[in-house]
Amino acid sequence: MKSEIKKFWELIKSSKKILLINHIRMDMDALWSLSAIYDILTQLWKDVKAVNDEVPPNNYNIIWYNEIIEPYLDIVSFKPDLIISLDAASEWQLWATYENNKEIFKNTPFVIIDHHKTNEWFGSVNIISKDFSSSCELVFYILKKLNLVKYITPKIATALLSGIYTDTNIYYNSNTSGYTLRTAADLIDLWADFRKPYFEFYKKKTITKSRLWWTILSKRLKISDNKKVAWAIVPFSIFEETWWNDRDLTWLISEFFANLDWVEICFLVYELNYWGVKASLRCTEKYDMSSVAEKLGWGWHKQAAWFTSDKTLEEVEKMILKALKKELE
Ligand SMILES: [Mn+2]
């Protein structure tokens, strides 16, 4: 990795126009690792632009950087000398921006900064390590190695710390290491606002989100006889009654369902407004969902699985309960 970081620095020095990109359906780590690099390169007098097919969700705005992403950027006329990708594990995660500009991506120095185990090393320079909790943690490491810490403003420090929070679920996920906490300490020394992102993304409850959660918890929550499996089926009418966003449901499952006492496995099946239904499933470390998920053709990590289907809510509920037969006994 040392030589890759050195190559990265040489590329920065020799480039004037730099394009940054991150993955589709960007999460907070993807946005703020990119933002930090954006802000630092700007201080180094580079002409920097950032692109993604989509703008970041509105609520990410609290950490200030939403406006730097330009979904309609004309990459051909920008003509970057260097492209840097943040937090994306493969080309296809760069979606249409990559698809429509393949030639430019192939013929321009392309640096990949990422922490996903599954990364396909698709750049000409690859700074990739699964030993980092998040791309934000990795970006801080790179900045340290390049002696650029002096450019980290309180705003950049807050952004990097926020990405660490969200990718580790506030030091709760197993990707948290001593180095993660030391990075956080360094960022706090650099005047990161450590309370703001914690409040905004973890503690704060909006009225609309509470209504959605309350409706689901009071009317829809089901628990198996052995108390090990909890689930809910969510028809579209519930989303119409409340203001909704499927990202709010992700929160409900990981913060509430998954923390119910006794519960080892939980899932949500909900109707999408344009097509079909989506199922999302979590389990504790005692279980491994990959075998179940693989059988049903889902996407999965060990403790999380998800898929979409054109079947009805009830059919999908039945299908999952059947796959979990052993766990229900
Ligand atoms: Mn990440």
- Say whether pLDDT at 273 is over 70: yes
- From the CA of 30, how far away is ligand 1's center (Å)? 6
- From the CA of 270, how far away is ligand 1's center (Å)? 25
- From the CA of 116, how far away is ligand 1's center (Å)? 7
pTM: 0.83
pLDDT tens-digit readout, 201-235: 888 888 888 888 899 999 999 999 999 999 999 99
- From the CA of 179, how far away is ligand 1's center (Å)? 16
Residues 156 and 302 in one domain: no
- From the CA of 115, how far away is ligand 1's center (Å)? 7
Banded pLDDT at 20 (limits 50, 70, 90): very high
CATH of the domain at 122: 3.90.1640.10
Residues 7 and 32 in one domain: yes
- Say whether pLDDT at 326 is over 70: yes
Domain final residue pick, 201, 234, 268: 201
- Say whether pLDDT at 113 is over 80: yes
Residues 124 and 253 in one domain: no
- From the CA of 272, how far away is ligand 1's center (Å)? 25
Domain final residue pick, 176, 201, 226: 201
Banded pLDDT at 264 (limits 50, 70, 90): very high
Going by C-alpha positions, the residue among 77, 75, 79, 82 that lies closest to residue 14 is 82
Residues 182 and 216 in one domain: no
> Which residues span the domain enclosing 72?
2-201
- Say whether pLDDT at 131 is over 90: yes
- From the CA of 193, how far away is ligand 1's center (Å)? 20
Give the C-alpha separation, 211 to 209, whole Å: 5
Residues 28 and 126 in one domain: yes
- Using left for φ > 0, alpha for ψ between -120 and 50, and beta otherwise, residue 70 falls in beta
- From the CA of 114, how far away is ligand 1's center (Å)? 7
**Mean pLDDT score across all residues of the chain:** 92
- From the CA of 323, how far away is ligand 1's center (Å)? 30
- From the CA of 240, how far away is ligand 1's center (Å)? 31
Residues 196 and 242 in one domain: no
What are the residues whose beta carbons fall under 8 Å from the beta carbon of 99, sequence distance 6 or more? none
Query: SS3 string of the chain?
Result: CHHHHHHHHHHHHHCCEEEEEECCCCCHHHHHHHHHHHHHHHHCCCEEEEECCCCCCHHHHHHCCHHHECCCCCHHHHCCCEEEEECCCCHHHHHHHHHCCHHHHHHCCEEEEECCCCCCCCCCEEEECCCCCCHHHHHHHHHHHCCCHHHCCHHHHHHHHHHHHHHHCCCCCCCCCHHHHHHHHHHHHCCCCCCHHHHHHHHCCCHHHHHHHHHHHHHCCEECCCCCEEEEEECHHHHHHCCCCHHHHHHHHHHHHHHCCCCCEEEEEEECCCCCEEEEEEECCCCCCHHHHHHHCCEECCCEEEEEECCCHHHHHHHHHHHCHHHHC
Looking at 177-181, 255-259, 298-302, which range is the least confident one? 298-302
Residues 29 and 156 in one domain: yes
Domain final residue pick, 201, 221, 244: 201
Residues 240 and 171 in one domain: no
State the total domains in the chain. Answer: 2
Residues 43 and 188 in one domain: yes
Residues 151 and 248 in one domain: no
- From the CA of 236, how far away is ligand 1's center (Å)? 30
pLDDT average, residue stretch 109-113: 98
CATH of the domain at 295: 3.10.310.30
Residues 11 and 26 in one domain: yes
Residues 96 and 154 in one domain: yes
Banded pLDDT at 245 (limits 50, 70, 90): low
- From the CA of 36, how far away is ligand 1's center (Å)? 14
Looking at 49-53, 175-179, 303-307, 308-312, which range is the least confident one? 303-307
Share of the chain above pLDDT 90, in %: 69
pLDDT number for residue 171:
95
- From the CA of 135, how far away is ligand 1's center (Å)? 5
- Say whether pLDDT at 255 is over 90: no
